[in-house]
Structure 1
Amino acid sequence: MPESMRHPGKMLPSIAARVIGTYTAADELVVDPMCGIGTTLVEAAHLGRHAAGVEFEEKWARLAVANLGHAKKHGAPGVGRVVAGDSRHIARLLPDLVGRAALVLTSPPYGAATHGHIRSTRDTGEPGVRKWNQRYSADRANLAHQRLPQLLEGFGRILAGCVTLLRPGGIAAITVRPYRVRGELVDLPGHVHQLAEEAGLVFVDRIVCLLCGLGDGQLRNRASFFQLHEARKGWARGLPIHAVAHEDLLVFRRPPATPSTGMT
């Protein structure tokens, strides 16, 4: 739906579609515990999978439902549902799905505000930077408002809950990228990797997803205005700061069940 452009932290549809197509089969279940506007759910429905998502913000949850309805009108054979709630309690929100999901696909928040849509002096000819659609939450209870230690603790709880939804051998795939705070690089992928293993997941793969365009046979950097701005300031100070041009796709597996212990 056109309103989806208002969400500043969308999952890239191409990544969602590739992950779902690689790790699931028709009619299997895909879960996104932080589903936003429902990109994961919509891509799953179009590929003939079934999907369930949880979203903290009711306005985005309603839009996710609308996007699923839009997909159905355009022939998506899969079905999905969205629950508005706190995914730190996902097993209580989706009790009928415990042990059934073939894939959990999600991404952690990066803060209450993101880059959103930007128009700089270069674009407008006017001084200053204009931003809009950069906030996806005004609720202080949202994990996006928490400092890094609290954010990691909450995301760890979400991953632990998702493990109970996964069937034995099911896949958890997390898209995550490093980011900068006052010029310092935060290794969020490394933190998420540790959280996933603490939740009982086994590391399978790390895939680099380039965030770029392709033109005239060359890769074109599509880093945000603020990333490039920070990089230029760093180089001016003699610091070789580079703009992040990729997302990490971290892939984990829930261990298979064994007759003797129930779980390995």
Structure 2
Amino acid sequence: MSRALAVADAAAVAPQVRPPSRRHAVNDLDLHNWKQYDEILTDSLWIFPERDSSGAHKADYHGNFVPQIPRQVMMRYTKKGDAILDPFAGSGTTLIEAQRLGRHALGVELQPAVAELARSRVGQEPNVDRATIKVINEDCRSARTRIWALNFLKDLGRTHFQAAILHPPYHDIIKFSDNPDDLSNAGTVDQFLTMFDEVLDLTVSLLEPGRYLTLVIGDKYDGGEWIPLGFYTMQRAAAKGMTIKSVIVKNMAGSRAKRNVENLWRYRALYGGFYVFRHEYVIVLKKN
């Protein structure tokens, strides 16, 4: 028997040793079984025909985003038991998804009634993994919010959050309140960006190095000009020591503001020389 045949025969009967599991440091995915993760999107175009309305999720709060966004982000960039910061909690969409996935989360909401709504909806969702979910009624730029956040982390035995998901107002497209601390009441785009900078200062300082911040935002059209809020805010975030990892375009089909006035918006677009908004951005950045 030749040496080559002997080696081949030995290889045929040798036990197959599975290499160590390839797991990311920031998620629970086993890349040896990557084909099993059909639910996780990896393309930069996200099309959701309709929002997830299961469980405690509802679409009645004007301006809330679809639950599929925070779900995708958490599956990709967090592990079970991680802590997530949501500076713009709204009616609790991110918090509900965090509880479903066994992630702890702190939500910050400026409006007292909306903060209570978020608490109520989180309470309606089963908490199988006993995740700690807290909603505070504060300005997400304030020193009080930092104290709340540090105490929240301390109770979990942590010093930083492992992810941050931000869904700020798209400047003044929707007026959420009369509170001057509300970013939707910023008088100009520059003032909006200055206020958003302050949100980033607090959020990034509380984020663990090497972990991810996700920004969900759309642009606006004002005074005959397209205002690229997505790019402006992305640049502000990158300037805080963040690396831009992905810019995802997500469809906005069925926007409540345009749902019943399609022909009017089509006429306005033809007359004004612009295109009707059908997308928003999901921008992923990594803290250096």
Q: TM-score, normalised by structure 1?
A: 0.77
Shift of 1:145: 0.6
Aligned position for 1:104: 164
Aligned position for 2:19: none
Aligned position for 2:51: none
Q: Give the Cα separation in 1 of the matches to 2:163 and 2:67.
A: 16
Letter aligned with residue 42 of structure 1: I
Q: Give the Cα separation in 1 of the matches to 2:287 and 2:195.
A: 20
Letter aligned with residue 234 of structure 1: A
Aligned position for 1:61: 115
Please report the RMSD computed on the Cα atoms of aligned residues, expressed in angstroms.
2.6
Identify the match of residue 233 of structure 2 among 192, 195, 207. 192
Shift of 1:77: 4.2
Aligned position for 1:167: 208
Identify the match of residue 146 of structure 2 among 81, 91, 99. 91
Aligned position for 1:232: 267
Q: Give the Cα separation in 1 of the matches to 2:147 and 2:130.
A: 27
Tell me the SS of whatever aligns to 1:92. helix
Give matches, 1:1-264, under 5 Å. 5-72=59-126, 75=128, 77-89=130-142, 90-96=145-151, 97=153, 99-111=159-171, 114=174, 135-147=175-187, 148-212=189-253, 224-225=258-259, 229-236=264-271, 239=273, 241-255=274-288
Tell me, yes or no, if the aligned pair for 2:84 and 2:103 is still in contact at 8 Å. Answer: yes
Gaps of 5+ in 2: 1-54
Percent identity reads 26
Q: Give the Cα separation in 2 of the matches to 1:24 and 1:155.
A: 24
Letter aligned with residue 7 of structure 1: Y
Shift of 1:76: 6.3
Tell me, yes or no, if the aligned pair for 1:183 and 1:230 is still in contact at 8 Å. Answer: no
Letter aligned with residue 57 of structure 1: Q
Letter aligned with residue 181 of structure 2: A
Aligned position for 1:122: none
Could you report, residue by residue, the CA deviation over 1:180-219 in whole angstroms, capped at 9, with x for unpaired residues? 1244211001111111022222211111122348xxxxxx
The runs of at least 4 consecutive aligned structure 1 residues that moved more than 4 Å come to 1-6, 225-228
Q: Give the Cα separation in 2 of the matches to 1:212 and 1:229.
A: 16
Tell me, yes or no, if the aligned pair for 2:86 and 2:107 is still in contact at 8 Å. Answer: yes
Q: Give the Cα separation in 2 of the matches to 1:106 and 1:163.
A: 11
Q: Give the Cα separation in 2 of the matches to 1:229 and 1:3.
A: 31
Report how many residues are paired. Answer: 225
Q: Would the alpha carbon gap of residues 165 and 246 (structure 1) be closer, same or farther in structure 2, given more than 3 Å must change?
A: same
Aligned position for 1:125: none
Q: TM-score, normalised by structure 2?
A: 0.71
Q: Would the alpha carbon gap of residues 36 and 149 (structure 1) be closer, same or farther in structure 2, given more than 3 Å must change?
A: same
Greater strand share, 1 or 2?
1
Tell me, yes or no, if the aligned pair for 1:51 and 1:79 is still in contact at 8 Å. Answer: yes
Gaps of 5+ in 1: 115-134, 214-220, 256-264
Shift of 1:6: 4.2
